[in-house]
């Protein structure tokens, strides 16, 4: 009798198990679709499907009424939530309150902290809630996402290793539960092909490293579910988003082409190593030509050329390079730098986010109390553009 029920409802059982594993790892209730979209790789080792609605990656979006840009998060869930609350995107119970707003998270969720998976799951939860309210959350790949898919764990913390070890334990329990059902295909072992030991690594770390590789390598359950859904380059209205920066050769190669190729690589369709435009200091996720803290050291002429080749583009918004003075503009505010190093694993900076109203008004929303007096003066003066180029900061302060 039990076997008959199991054969009749294999997808329901699989969905239940996945939801159980998700809750055990993240503490969030994220029901899985009982009619999952198949992984595009037919030989996949991943049994976890992407978001229930898995649209083709879009590279260009029309300008929303309200656009919020969030910088690098680096494994710090508390600071991530603080940043979202600055823009009134979530309430004290962490539920979406952003209405029809569009949010872009510029990448680098991974590394330097111990809440990497919790942030990935939390952003997935918010994506679902935002969609029901007409809002949109877009997540992007930074250099640290690319590094981890390639198995480069130089910036991983012990807490980060522990979090992925816990994930792997629950994931394997879920696979064992699925294997008891005759109506389900036997789950694939996520550890297939991963070495048992690593040169120069302490023996007590072997298992945790194997767990992280299993989760994040091309075609890994976590990389497929979360990172393959990320854009690498993005145009929203008249704003271009990229983690490091774009050069003319990247635009000539094709923004849509970059997004699709990166997605295919993460899904295990393009081999082990990332495309060349993701590697090296002139790559889209590593470039710093427009992010130097001294605005006069930025390559503004190249930036102008790049923007001129993207129809309607007025500015490039980037993360990657920490701005200790906070979110700021360079090159006549054509380069907007939004990585404030908010994670405790970076410089523990005060959270800030960028807000764009329509295609015109830009302002910084900050938790820094030192800007309150300046804010009041700006309000009395009726100033419109609220994004300084390394001058006095004119900002909206949120308590």
Catalytic one of 144, 243, 250, 320: 144
Q: Residue written as tokens 């050769």?
A: 249
Has 144 been annotated as catalytic? yes
Residue closest to 87 by CA, chosen among 111, 110, 71 = 71
Task: Kindly report the number of other CB atoms within 10 A of residue 234's CB atom.
Answer: 22
Specify whether the CB–CB gap between 115 and 164 falls below 8 A: no
Q: Is 174 exposed, middle or buried (0-12, 13-18, 19+ CB in 10 A)?
A: buried
Catalytic residues: 144
């Amino acid at each position: 009798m039990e076997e008959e029920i199991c054969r009749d409802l294999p997808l329901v059982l699989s969905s239940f198990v996945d939801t159980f594993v998700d809750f055990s790892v993240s503490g969030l209730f994220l029901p899985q679709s009982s009619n999952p979209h198949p992984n595009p790789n037919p030989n996949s080792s991943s049994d976890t499907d992407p978001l229930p609605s898995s649209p083709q990656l879009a590279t260009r979006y029309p300008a929303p009424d309200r656009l919020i840009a969030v910088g690098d998060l680096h494994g710090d869930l508390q600071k991530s939530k603080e940043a979202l609350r600055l823009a009134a995107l979530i309430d004290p119970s962490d539920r979406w309150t952003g209405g029809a707003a569009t949010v872009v998270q510029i990448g680098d969720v991974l590394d330097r902290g111990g809440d990497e998976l919790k942030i990935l799951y939390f952003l997935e939860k918010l994506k679902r809630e935002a969609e029901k309210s007409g809002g949109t959350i877009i997540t992007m790949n930074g250099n640290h996402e690319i590094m981890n898919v390639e198995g480069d764990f130089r910036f991983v913390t012990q807490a980060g290793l522990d979090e992925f070890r816990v994930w792997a334990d629950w994931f394997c329990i879920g696979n064992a539960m699925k294997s008891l059902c005759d109506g389900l295909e036997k789950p694939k072992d996520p550890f297939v092909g991963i070495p048992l030991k690593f040169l120069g690594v302490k023996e007590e770390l072997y298992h945790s490293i194997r767990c992280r590789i299993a989760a994040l390598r091309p075609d890994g359950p976590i990389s497929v579910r979360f990172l393959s859904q990320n854009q690498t380059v993005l145009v929203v209205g008249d704003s271009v988003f990229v983690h490091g920066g774009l050069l003319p050769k990247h635009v000539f190669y094709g923004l849509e082409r970059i997004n699709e190729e990166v997605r295919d690589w993460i899904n295990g369709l393009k081999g082990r190593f990332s495309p060349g435009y993701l590697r090296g200091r002139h790559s889209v996720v590593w470039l710093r030509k427009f992010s130097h803290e001294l605005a006069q050291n930025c390559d503004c002429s190249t930036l102008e050329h790049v923007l001129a080749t993207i129809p309607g583009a007025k500015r490039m918004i980037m993360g990657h390079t920490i701005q200790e003075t906070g979110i700021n503009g360079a090159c006549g505010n054509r380069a907007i730098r939004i990585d404030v190093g908010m994670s405790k694993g970076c410089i523990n900076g005060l959270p800030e986010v960028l807000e764009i109203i329509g295609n015109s008004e830009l302002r910084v929303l900050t938790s820094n109390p030192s800007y309150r007096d300046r804010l009041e003066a700006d309000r009395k003066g009726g100033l419109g553009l609220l994004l300084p180029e390394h001058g006095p900061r004119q900002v909206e302060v949120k308590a």
